[in-house]
Chain A
């Protein structure tokens, strides 16, 4: 028996599982074991109901309507903004911009703040463990502006090389764009210290919170980051809704992103004046239903307690790591001291895709491949990994199912 940390008594995983209808289904005749949470989380019934209720009872276009439905929809929509503000610890709800997801949030910053502030010869600093979504927008910007993309290297254990980071910072560094947690390795980066260092060098900091927001307490004021982005779908909310937090002064100084309805104040053919924050960045009819459901998801998380969730998920991570480590031929990729609840591994002489297919036959959903982090895979000289990522509804029994499936896969594949 493997010793793991004790579980907080208040955390009743069986009760939580009942809130997620999808967990009742079977895959290929076996009970579903869903370990692809870092790609997207499943949704509790209350989130699904929120969407259904919106369309059933108060669907209307928001803001300008004066009828009752429009008022109800607007109130629900703006309530999400307040909840997100609290969830992130932002100073004002004007600092919360609704986007389609983390990727759009990052692109918004690169195309507005970036185009306005980055000039020829300037440097943008990212890390070797970034998701493609936090690489490509900056490459596009650098190409346009003849700026330089610099990359903080990753150590063998999956942690950032902090000294290299400090050496890469200079008065040329205009921006540090950094993942709070790595989607492929699980590494939690020491972003608070990094933000402090970057600010001392005069750089602005964007934090990619896609993988951290569901697991960790986020306080943007304490972190002092300038931008923070996350996606709803990884945090028990629907897909198609994401958040960009930005410091008010920065958001006010930046040019607009997309033009259209809602983001304007007054339009004539000669000149258009723009709306105030946050609407300045929200052109067109937004994703109303999913935005409203994001509040339900955040309330769901708060009701379970982020500390209790983190404690339970750590227990799952430790349990899975301990069991994987003793399987001959298995090598864990990413053994940082501080990790979110995901484990990436490779099996000697076996392609990750083959493992994923055999596990799928056992009803176990994992992700295989490069996890949209090809430069990171190149750094570790592997084509990809098998990644099991855990959520608050997963159990140690499910990990046992994965481990026995893995034994089977290794036996028939090698």
Chain B
């Protein structure tokens, strides 16, 4: 599990922007993303159910979330490897953060590394819906926490 003193969302975003600055061609950027996609641990089959499915027009993303000690932890997978690489970046930035940091996350790094077309409303690859779902989980955990605190 990730330790308590992990970098903040903006720090993580900055780190990724710096990683991508090393590449000067689209091919190199995509090869790096593909590599991340291949390295993302597979989601256990038991979680690959409709309930966790975020359906895109072409590719599918499965997403699960857990809440531990005030932090949200995500696990996800996709049937397309480039989407999986992008999913891996989103997990790197958001997993292990507090619900508030997740809800406030601007995710500007996606544009900075030239991958914003993948999140455009016209790209129905499930990624945009995944970001929304990640934030929904954060909101839900935050609400549960608040209800718990008032009891």
State whether these chains interact. yes
User: Nearest residue in A to B124 (C-beta to C-beta)?
Assistant: A369
Neighbouring A residues of B26 by C-beta, 8 Å: 28-29, 361
Partner of A384, one of B27, B58, B82, B83: B58
Complex Cα distance, B137 from A19, in Å, reads: 53
A357 and B82 form a contact (CB under 8 A):
yes
Neighbouring B residues of A383 by C-beta, 8 Å: 58, 79
A-B contacts, 13 listed (Cβ < 8 Å): A350-B81, A351-B58, A351-B80, A353-B58, A353-B59, A354-B34, A357-B30, A358-B30, A368-B58, A369-B57, A384-B58, A412-B31, A413-B81
Give the Cβ gap from B85 to chain A, nearest Cβ, in Å: 10
| Size category, B interface | 10 to 19
Give the Cβ gap from A236 to chain B, nearest Cβ, in Å: 24
Q: Give the total number of A-B pairs whose CB atoms are below 8 A apart.
A: 39
Complex Cα distance, B86 from A354, in Å, reads: 12
Neighbouring B residues of A353 by C-beta, 8 Å: 58-59, 80, 82-83, 125
B81 and A354 form a contact (CB under 8 A):
yes
User: Nearest residue in A to B31 (C-beta to C-beta)?
Assistant: A412
Q: Is A352 an interface residue (CB 8 A)?
A: yes
User: Nearest residue in B to A384 (C-beta to C-beta)?
Assistant: B58
Give the Cβ gap from B36 to chain A, nearest Cβ, in Å: 13
Which A322-375 residues sit within 8 Å CB-CB of chain B? Answer: 350-354, 357-358, 361, 368-370
* Apart from A358-B30, A370-B58: 8 A-B pairs, beta carbons within 8 A: A351-B58, A351-B59, A351-B80, A353-B59, A353-B82, A353-B125, A354-B81, A370-B57
Give the Cβ gap from A405 to chain B, nearest Cβ, in Å: 10
Q: Tell whether A361 pairs with B81 under 8 Å between CB atoms, given A351-B59, A412-B34.
A: no
CB 8 Å contact bits of B55-89 with A (1 = contact, 0 = none): 00111000000000000000000011111000000
Complex Cα distance, B34 from A350, in Å, reads: 12
Number of A interface residues in the complex (CB < 8 A): 18
B27 and A361 form a contact (CB under 8 A):
yes
Q: Which of A350, A351, A352, A354 has the most CB of B within 10 A?
A: A354
Complex Cα distance, B126 from A351, in Å, reads: 14
User: Nearest residue in A to B78 (C-beta to C-beta)?
Assistant: A351
Complex Cα distance, B92 from A44, in Å, reads: 47
Which B114-131 residues sit within 8 Å CB-CB of chain A? Answer: 125
Complex Cα distance, B125 from A178, in Å, reads: 30
Neighbouring B residues of A408 by C-beta, 8 Å: 27
Q: Which of A353, A368, A408 has the most CB of B within 10 A?
A: A353
Complex Cα distance, B57 from A361, in Å, reads: 21
CB 8 Å contact bits of A71-85 with B (1 = contact, 0 = none): 000000000000000
B30 and A369 form a contact (CB under 8 A):
no
A361 and B58 form a contact (CB under 8 A):
no
B59 and A361 form a contact (CB under 8 A):
no
Give the Cβ gap from B115 to chain A, nearest Cβ, in Å: 10
Complex Cα distance, B34 from A104, in Å, reads: 41
User: Nearest residue in A to B56 (C-beta to C-beta)?
Assistant: A353
User: Nearest residue in A to B114 (C-beta to C-beta)?
Assistant: A28
Give the Cβ gap from B145 to chain A, nearest Cβ, in Å: 37
